[in-house]
A and B are shown apart, each in its own frame.
Chain A
Amino acid sequence: MRSKEAGALTGEGRVREHSSAAVAGKYWAVFRTQLLNSLAYPIDLLGRSLLIVLFMWIFMNLWRVTYGAVGASSIAGLTLADTMWYLMMAEAVMLSKHDLSETFSEQVKDGSVAYLLNKPFNFILYHFASGLGDSLLAFGGNLLIGSAVVWLMVGPPPGIAGWIFAGAAVVLSWLLDFCFSALIGLSAFVVEETNAFRWIYQKFLLLLGGVLIPLDFFPAWLQTISLNLPFAWIIYGPARLFVEPSLARLGHVFLQQCIWLAVVGGIVWVIYRRVVARLVINGG
């Protein structure tokens, strides 16, 4: 199969055929280089992961009191242990997301975007590969430390299926989050400063995505709204799958994630084409 880049001329003037393997190799190399880059500062990496300890301690105190006040062993089908493991997974995803919009914004402001646009790769895929390299390490660290803490607090984690299903869904979560980040980041080409959009997106994730509270605890009407928005499928989907893994739930989470990926990814693609055409680089 020939990629879109096919048709480039070699130095000798022959048409260069780009194999799909060579094209995939580029993004693999970007992913690998970002991994190496993140490993350059192991203490910093560990420090970032320690944040989850604080969050879990706060959540534990908060929810222990809540469950005690309600006087029931489970709320909306979730025990205290389920809730804590849910929140651990939700926080692990949230804290390992690579904030691409900020990277975009910085690159537009300082002009370094020029280097990425004149290389033979797709700008969006480059960032995804690089973001994935960053997220994977952070996610691993968060999961390791977060699990140890929550295990000590409420006992062992859910079964192995939960880890596998949630792990698979988290990759699509990053992809979906990446599309939102890219959308916000692409607006930097037009408005340059994207802090406001980023802030709004973060708050949507916190409240309607299920980072602070499992969506199951919401009143029915708010639950319906949340589950029909994409934010739930970035955080709530994988975290809920983690504590209650089933093939039916996995299928539902995947379906929702794919639908939203098609919608948001499509918008990103269209906007990217338009933005590049009217690109203005600082320092021109």
Chain B
Amino acid sequence: MPAISVRDLRKTFQMKRKSAGLRGSLRALWRPTYQSIEAVRGLSFEMEDGELLGFIGPNGAGKSTTIKILTGILHPSSGEAAVLGHVPWQDRQALAFQIGSVFGQRPQLWYHLPAVDTFYLFGKIYEIDDSSLKRRISFLAEAFEIEELLETPVRKLSLGQRMRCEVAASLLHRPRVLLLDEPSIGLDVVAKQRLRMTIQRMNDMEGVGVLLTSHDAGDIETLCRRVIIVNHGEIVYRDKVSALKRRYLTVKTVDVRYNEQLAPDFSLPGVEMVKVGRYGAKMRFDTRVTPVEPVISGLAAAGSLADVTVSEPSLEEVISAIYARTEV
């Protein structure tokens, strides 16, 4: 049985509309008009037990709405969903014992208290007995490298430190599924890497399944084997991350440097020259149009090579390309 199963899920919000100015305000009072916003439009997907699934999309794509439906705090307009066998909006309380959630922009730790106070509070809320709770806190403190931070008031922690404490807090009750909504938002590169490492570690050690939404393609690239990309409330892509890269990473960028000056009319067939200098050049080609082999031999034949770097587009660029295609 999949940990999460979603079928034809839809959520429509009714937004009040008002024209500009006093007249518009008065009219809205007298005869309010509403606009239907379809935040989620017929999503269907499954997540296996213990899987790390990436769920990405731009602002307003419906990611957070979907996560909130899956935690049971939003009711869908139609469709079906099951999380660990529960219909979330019908069994919210029972499901709460089995899932953890972190909403990156909404802190759950008590701001003025040390994180350990919130940990003890959560221990009671999830009905964990005292000795198990103590063991669990020390285990998570070690796994998340937060031993030194637990007794510092949360307001004095850096964002990265706080976020590690937030994720640790959401794992206190050993959930089988963790819903992470933008956990890396606002973090610097080092903090992001540490957070990713700890999420990966908990997945390896406890087999907790993670549904991860993020703006940062790096999160998905590092952590997830499979990815679902949503836009305007619909799935626009779903496959393995590796397949996504294979399929879309066909454009290579080559930076080349020579030990001697290049011919001023330096060019290669099927290759777009981005920039040509006296000792080097930057170029781009699509492997579906121009095979790699003649490009490399062409580069070698042009002179004595000092350095060659071949780079692929980032996952971010790939995703932008997918969005651009679906915008039409």
A binding-site residues for B, Cβ under 8 Å: 4-5, 7-11, 16, 18, 22, 25-26, 28-30, 33, 36-37, 40-41, 110-115, 117-121, 277-281, 283-284
Contacts and interface: CB of A to CB of B under 8 A. Distances in A.
B253 interface: no
Contact of A118 (B72, B123, B126, B153): B72
Given A111-B106, A278-B75, 7 more contacts: A8-B95, A9-B97, A33-B121, A114-B71, A115-B103, A121-B125, A280-B13
A5 B106 contact: no
B127 interface: yes
B125 A284 contact: no
B96 interface: yes
A171 B120 CA distance: 26
Interface in B285-324: none
8 tightest Cβ-Cβ pairs between the two chains A and B: A29-B124, A8-B94, A120-B96, A40-B112, A118-B71, A284-B65, A117-B73, A8-B97
Contacts of A114: 68, 71, 73, 103, 106
Interface of B: 11, 13, 39, 64-65, 68, 71-75, 84-85, 92-99, 101, 103, 105-108, 110, 112-113, 117-118, 120-121, 123-127, 153, 174, 176
A17 to B, nearest CB: 10
B96 A118 contact: yes
B105 A40 contact: no
Main secondary structure, interface of A, reads loop
A115 B106 CA distance: 8
Nearest to B127: A22
Contacts of B112: 37, 40-41
Contacts of B105: 111, 283
Contacts of B74: 279-281, 284
Nearest to A117: B73
B73 A5 contact: no
Contacts of B98: 8-9, 11
A11 B96 contact: no
A279 B74 CA distance: 6
Nearest to B125: A26
A113 B106 CA distance: 9
Contacts of B65: 284
Contacts of A111: 103, 105-106
B97 A10 contact: yes
26 contacts: A5-B94, A8-B93, A9-B98, A10-B97, A18-B127, A22-B127, A26-B124, A33-B110, A33-B117, A36-B113, A36-B117, A111-B103, A114-B103, A114-B106, A115-B103, A117-B92, A118-B72, A118-B101, A120-B94, A277-B75, A279-B74, A279-B75, A280-B13, A281-B68, A284-B39, A284-B64
